[in-house]
A and B are shown apart, each in its own frame.
Chain A
Amino acid sequence: MTKVMAQLAMVMNLDKCIGCHTCSVTCKQAWTNRAGTEYVWFNNVETRPGQGYPRTYQDQERWRGGWELNHRGRLRLKAGGRLRKLFSIFANPLMPSIQDYYEPWTYDYDRLFSAPMQDDTPVARPKSLITGENTKISWSANWDDNLAGGPELAPADPVLRKLSDQVKLEFEQAFMFYLPRICEHCLNPSCVASCPSGAMYKRSEDGIVLVDQDRCRGWRMCVTGCPYKKVYFNHKTGKAEKCTFCYPRVEVGIPTVCSETCVGRLRYIGLILYDADRVAEAASVADEKDLYEAQRSVLLDPNDPEVIAAARAEGIPEDWLEAARRSPIYKLIFDFGVALPLHPEYRTMPMVWYIPPLSPVVDVLSGTGHDGEDADNLFGAIDALRIPIGYLAELFSAGDPEPVRNVLRRLAAMRSYMRRINLGREPDESIATAVGMTGERVEEMYRLLAIAAYGERYVIPKAHAEQGARLEESMSGCSLDYEGGPGMGGPFGEASGMPVPVAVENFHALKDRQTTGALVDPEDRQNRVNLLNWDGKGTPDGLFPDRNGRKQP
């Protein structure tokens, strides 16, 4: 008997990512536009090859995130076991400093308005948000965007350094692509395992990994534990924060902010069923190159009657099972076989998967005067252009080029097959057969990847109505009559006191916006009147602003 659990998972189609950072910006606006999280990007987009964010986070010999096998072949945290964690709790030797991320800054905008009349145009100097002093901006979350500073910065890419010298030289014919990253919501999360307080947990309903802000004591071990460095330390509140998979949104069936706003429509969200009892076993296979297959083997076929029966026995609701059957994630991983996990060698069983980009191959091919969409040319080039393949393999299959090659061949086949159709020629079934697919399947994949209809990209079952009262937001036990600014006013400064639930914060922000005339925080805001609700009779309190500090009658 298997222990079936459901997991919300994501797939990103890197071929369609144009590196516009819309996902990062909307995520930041939604979640981390607060003091203490200025440097935090739950979603970031990095250019590969590049150092990433935080710098060289993939170098696990340095940062020691994720799991490794001990001499008996059993999983242990790479940064050390429980005792070692407790002994290094007073000063975590493996924690990135703010400089490894970047020192957040603002500008002294007021100078632009308050500077006296002078010959020179006043400038707004950058001010560090950490020290408050003038600063020189020298790094950011995407400083090496589009290979900026390539020859100096890119060689420090830990993934690139794993490739042989010969490949490095060939890298001179530069290739690049974008890698948007969020928390992987792993099946075997090393951040959760690293948390001494037990404040981090994986939700048993949908597998989202969260930090209990009431229980977190700021021991910072999760930051070290996560090999993707996707748990962040809020330096104002002294608590860990991370990507929430936008749980308030997915609970009501709408996609995460990063997915919703993705202009390339390259993100897919859906359910995956997996066998929780087999996770540890699969994560501890001896050869890193087998981890990709092992990870696939943990996932269950939602159409298998035995799986369905076992899932029912675990209390997974019918509409969730239906969603699992319609899951685009399952299709991309299994039916089409084009999605690969990011860094399976960390042994955390990541649940945000990627379709590796074919574009570097097509670009190089077209650049050399070949027909970049001809099936034979493409198939040949995928094997000939070892550089991108080797690089992609280090990212998505622990260095084994075979899975990446298979995916790229399928993507190439789809291009060539569909081009014939678009040009009005006969469909060439042999192209599909060459990659172990049928023409029908290729067209199905084309529909999901290229048309990417909203309803097919996002199959998100709602959290259950009968669980309604137990949902996150109504759970927090705070009524809407909350007073005062968000996150402020606790007995020990801004970090203390009851946290404000998102819905309450939004409610008050909206209320303020509707009842205020000023752009920012007017002092007499409480006295203002929403003219939409004014019936034109009399002069209610706050209809006119205060004069001489006295309230108008």
Chain B
Amino acid sequence: MNALDVVLWVVAPYLAITVFVLGHVWRYRYDKFGWTTRSSQMYESRLLRIGSPLFHFGILVVLLGHIGGLVIPKSWTEAAGVSEEAYHITAVVLGTVAGVATLGGLAILIYRRRTVGPVFTATTRNDKLMYAVLALVIVLGLAATIAANVVGGGYDYRTTISPWFRSIFYLQPDPALMAGAPPLFQLHALSALLLFAIWPFTRLVHMLTAPVGYLTRPYVVYRSRDDQRGSRKPRRGWEPTR
């Protein structure tokens, strides 16, 4: 374990997490008005109707897969009676299908963004950076899976990468676990850290406000002029008086 390993697998993850959390808090406090999906559906919907659901549903499955692979310890799934073999096949098949759907969807969306005039005009530099990093993360992740577990002999990340991932949250980081992982997995993890670090400053913030509350709230919302301010704090000296 050398200094580089510590920087990459201890310092960088904590930095990314800090920026991710504080960045969102900052953005939510100071830029609620900018917190939006910035949909471009008005300009073009034919390509969007294929690409966007493909990408979003794909990445939701990918997210679930990551939770299953990184957060849930191997011992738990084994205790639940899922054999290594069964887990491996499910993960590879589901992961590859979802990964390809995500990448295909992203490809359609990027193609659309570049070729449809109004959509391209509405694309900011921030968006371009975000798309580049996002695509990189997905390509590396898919490549790592395919190289190791589809064409390769199989790599059990649940004995190295997953414990490393959890060790970060236990506040007992173990960089040695990650230092030995195949380079593609390492690159995927690093690019993901980069994505988390820029996340709060991009349009990706819309993910954190996914409207799941819609399922349970009453249809018609009433609000009094009293609480018109919503979640925004008045500036000092401008608090309402009764």
Q: How far is the CA of A195 from the CA of B213 in the complex (A)?
A: 11
Residues in chain B near residue A203, CB distance under 8 A: 222-225
Given that A201-B221, A235-B122, A470-B228 are contacting pairs, would A196 and B211 also be in contact in the complex, using a CB cutoff of 8 Å? yes
A476 and B233 CA atoms in complex are apart in Å by 9
What is the bound-complex CA distance between A82 and B44, given in angstroms? 25
Contact indicator A477/B233 (Cβ below 8 Å): yes
Name the interface residues of A128-187: CB closer than 8 Å to any CB of B: 130-133
Q: 8 Å CB contacts to A: which residues of B103-155?
A: 117-118, 121-122, 124, 126
Distance in angstroms from A102 CB to nearest chain B CB is 12
**Contact status B214-A469, CB under 8 Å:** no
Asked whether, in the complex, the Cβ of B35 is within 8 Å of the Cβ of A469, the reply is: no
Kindly list chain B residues whose C-beta atoms are within 8 Å of the C-beta of A192. 219-221
B3 at the binding interface (Cβ < 8 Å): no
Q: Which of B48-56, B166-174, B184-192 contacts A (4 or more CB under 8 A)?
A: B48-56
- Given A83-B215, A90-B57, A497-B33, verify A188-B117 contact (CB < 8 Å): no
Cβ of B39 within 8 Å of any chain A Cβ, yes or no, is yes
A82 contacts across to B, CB distance below 8 A: 214-215
| Bound CA span A178–B213, Å | 42
Task: Tell me the dominant secondary structure on chain A's binding face.
Answer: loop
Which of B13-21, B93-101, B234-242 lies at the interface with chain A?
Answer: B234-242
For A497, give its contact among B31, B209, B220 (CB under 8 Å): B31
Cross-chain contact B32 with A469 (CB below 8 angstroms): no
Contact A498 B226 (CB under 8 A): no
Interface flag for B157 (CB, 8 Å): no
- Chain B residues, CB < 8 A from A432: none
Contacts of B48 in A (CB 8 A): 91
A57 CB-CB contact with B under 8 Å: no
**Closest B-chain residue to A85, C-beta based?**
B214
Question: Chain B's nearest CB lies how many Å from the CB of A233?
Answer: 6
User: Is A218 located at the chain interface by the 8 A CB criterion?
Assistant: yes
Tell whether A355 is near chain B: CB-to-CB under 8 Å. Answer: no
A495 touches B53 (CB 8 A): no
In the bound assembly, the distance between CA atoms of A133 and B117 in angstroms comes to: 9
Tell me if B228 and A472 are in contact (CB < 8 A): yes
Contact B235 A477 (CB under 8 A): yes
**B83 interface contact, C-beta 8 A:** no
Cβ contact within 8 Å between A479 and B32? no
Alpha-carbon gap, A212 to B222, bound state (A): 12
User: Contact at A219–B33, with CB atoms within 8 Å?
Assistant: no
Report the separation of the CA atoms of residues A420 and B160 in the bound assembly, to the nearest whole angstrom: 98
Cα distance A98–B124 in the bound complex, in angstroms: 21
Q: A463 to B224: give the CA distance in the assembly, Å.
A: 12
Flag if B117 contacts A131 (CB, 8 Å).
yes
Q: Is the CB of A470 within 8 A of B211?
A: no
Closest partner residue, chain A, to B211 (CB atom):
A196
Docked pose: A238 CA to B55 CA in angstroms = 20
- Binary flags per residue of A203-215, CB closer than 8 Å to B gives 1, else 0: 1110000001111
Tell yes or no: A496 within 8 A of B by CB: yes
Contact A202 B222, CB 8 Å, known A235-B42, A470-B240: yes
Cα(A364)–Cα(B237), bound, Å? 65
Contact of B37 among A131, A204, A219 (CB under 8 A): A219
Select which of A95, A195, A217, A479 is within 8 A of B35 by beta carbon.
Answer: A217
Residue on B with the closest CB to A216?
A: B36
Tell me if B220 and A239 are in contact (CB < 8 A).
no
B233 cross-chain contacts in A, Cβ below 8 A: 477
B-contact bits for A227-268, CB 8 A (1 contact / 0 none): 000000101111100000000000000000000000000000
Known A217-B37, A495-B38; judge A204-B224 contact (CB<8 A). yes
| Cβ contact within 8 Å between B211 and A490 | no
Residues of chain B contacted by A218 (CB below 8 angstroms)? 36-39, 206
**Contact yes or no, B235 A93, CB < 8 A:** no
Query: B41: CB under 8 A from chain A?
Result: yes
The reply to whether A477 and B238 contact each other, CB–CB distance below 8 Å, is yes
Question: Contacts A188-B220, A205-B224, A477-B233; is A490 near B33 (CB within 8 Å)?
Answer: yes
* Alpha-carbon distance A490/B217, docked complex (angstroms): 32
Whether B230 and A214, one on each chain, are in contact in the complex, defined by CB atoms closer than 8 angstroms, is yes
Contact sample, A vs B, 17 pairs, CB 8 Å cutoff = A95-B42, A98-B43, A130-B43, A130-B117, A214-B230, A217-B35, A217-B36, A218-B39, A218-B206, A237-B33, A472-B228, A475-B234, A476-B229, A491-B31, A492-B34, A497-B33, A498-B33
Q: Which B residues contact A (CB, under 8 angstroms)?
A: 30-45, 48-49, 52-53, 55-57, 117-118, 121-122, 124, 126, 201, 206, 209, 211-215, 217, 219-226, 228-235, 237-238, 240-242
Knowing that A91-B52, A97-B42 are A-B contacts, what are 12 other residue pairs whose CB atoms are under 8 Å apart, sorted by A's residue number? A86-B211, A86-B212, A132-B117, A215-B32, A220-B41, A467-B225, A470-B226, A475-B240, A492-B126, A492-B201, A495-B36, A498-B30
**Which chain A residues have a beta carbon within 8 Å of chain B's beta carbons?**
77, 82-83, 85-86, 89-93, 95, 97-98, 130-133, 188-189, 192-193, 195-198, 200-205, 212-220, 233, 235-239, 463, 467, 469-472, 474-479, 490-493, 495-499
What 5 A-B pairs are tightest by C-beta distance, nearest first?
A496-B34, A196-B211, A477-B234, A238-B38, A193-B219
